[in-house]
Amino acid sequence: MKIIPEAGEACYHCITRTVNGEFLFGDADKEVLRKQMWQVAEFCGIQVITHDLLSNHFHVKILVPKKVEISDAELLRRYRVLHPSPSRYQPARLEVIEQWLASQSAEGVAWRKRMLALMGDVSPFMQLLKQRFSIWFNKSHKRFGTLWSERFKSVLMERPIPKVAAYIDLNCVRANLVTDPKDYRFCGYGEAVAGNERAREGLCLLLEEKDWEKVQAIYRQMLFSIGTAVREKGARISPEEFQRVISEGGKLPLADVLRCRVRYFTDGAVLGSKEFVETQLAAYRLRTGRRQRAGPQPVPAITDWGELMTLRPLRGRALG
């Protein structure tokens, strides 16, 4: 049952499972689901606080904003997120839609109404996400039929409660997939540590703090505190690991962050001190005769990076 708040923004914890609880999703499937989740959230205007994508179910904690007027330009921008090119499901080209809207044609009015019905609501967000992923999954695995066992369950919360978010991020630990949620790419905390700006925004909003360094330290200590609790089922974080995290003040050593798959280590081409980057750049120019325009770029703060530099800036949002 969906409970509708009286007014203003609303926070939900949503859960959905595969049919019969079957363990269907491997890492490649989770990666597609992860990307589609962020796309659909941006399209619907939903703020993802955190999430955890597992082999037979997923959790997502979202903030649905207050209803505001959405311009045609914003509708088109969001539409491009999901439909950068025509498909058999969305055959109309963006140029045609723009003409419809500009001329206030009947087609434009109908299109606007359909899009606005999908904005700022938990049900369209979950339905669209599950539908899009089901189409991809069944096609990719030569499968047909129902993928999900239920519509979805949702709990309306008065506010984005940090302990509920921590419970979600710890699912990968309880499932014995990792011993530290930072090492799980398919949870909100793991994505945030790895540099995903939107994942960080969600946790910063959760703790009402803009400084990611502070948020990371506070939330990490909370995760390990809750994760040590003894449960009838599922793995837990050891008390020794909890004490270590507390002694470190929740801060992540540089070596730990380097092990996380941040796009700076794949898109950055060269990573190291300014002198190292400049030396490698000079060797590249000498070897190829090409001029590389970009020089050493500082890596934005993720933890205590010191003077770590990269050869070129990222293309687009990290891990988006």
| Amino acid letter, residue 169 | D
Is the pLDDT reported for residue 13 higher than 60?
Answer: yes
Could you list the beta-strand ranges (E) of 226-308.
271-272, 297-298
Which residues, in sequence order, are CB contacts of 300 under 8 Å at separation 6+? none
Structure-model confidence comparison of residues 141 and 280, the more confident one: 141
Task: Quick: pLDDT tens for 234-264.
Answer: 888 888 888 888 888 888 765 455 555 444 4
Spatial CA neighbour of 10 closest among 210, 188, 203, 154: 154
Identify the pLDDT of residue 234: 81
Q: Domain-by-domain residue ranges, the chain?
A: 72-116, 161-261, 264-310
Amino acid at 112: R
Q: What is the pLDDT of residue 98?
A: 87
Encode pLDDT of 158-177 as tens digits.
788 899 999 999 999 999 99
Confirm if 12 and 161 have CB atoms less than 8 A apart: no
Cβ atoms of residues 31 and 139 within 8 Å:
no
Q: How far apart are CA 170 and CA 226, in angstroms?
A: 9
Residues 233 and 236: their CA atoms lie apart, in Å, by: 9
Using a pLDDT cut of 90, give the percent of the chain over it.
53
3-state secondary structure of 315: coil
pLDDT band at 114 (very low <50, low <70, confident <90, very high): very high
- Average pLDDT score over residue span 151-156: 88
Cα distance between residue 136 and residue 142, in whole Å? 10
Region of poorest pLDDT, from 48-57, 77-86, 216-225, 267-276: 267-276
Q: Are the C-beta atoms of residues 22 and 143 closer than 8 Å to each other?
A: no
**DSSP E strand stretches across the chain:** 10-17, 47-53, 57-64, 153-157, 271-272, 297-298, 309-310
Least Cα distance to 10 among 57, 59, 47 occurs for 47
Top mean pLDDT of 85-99, 114-128, 148-162 is at 114-128
Model confidence at 297: pLDDT above 90 = no
| pLDDT of 314 higher than 60 | no
Q: For residue 239, what pLDDT is reported?
A: 86
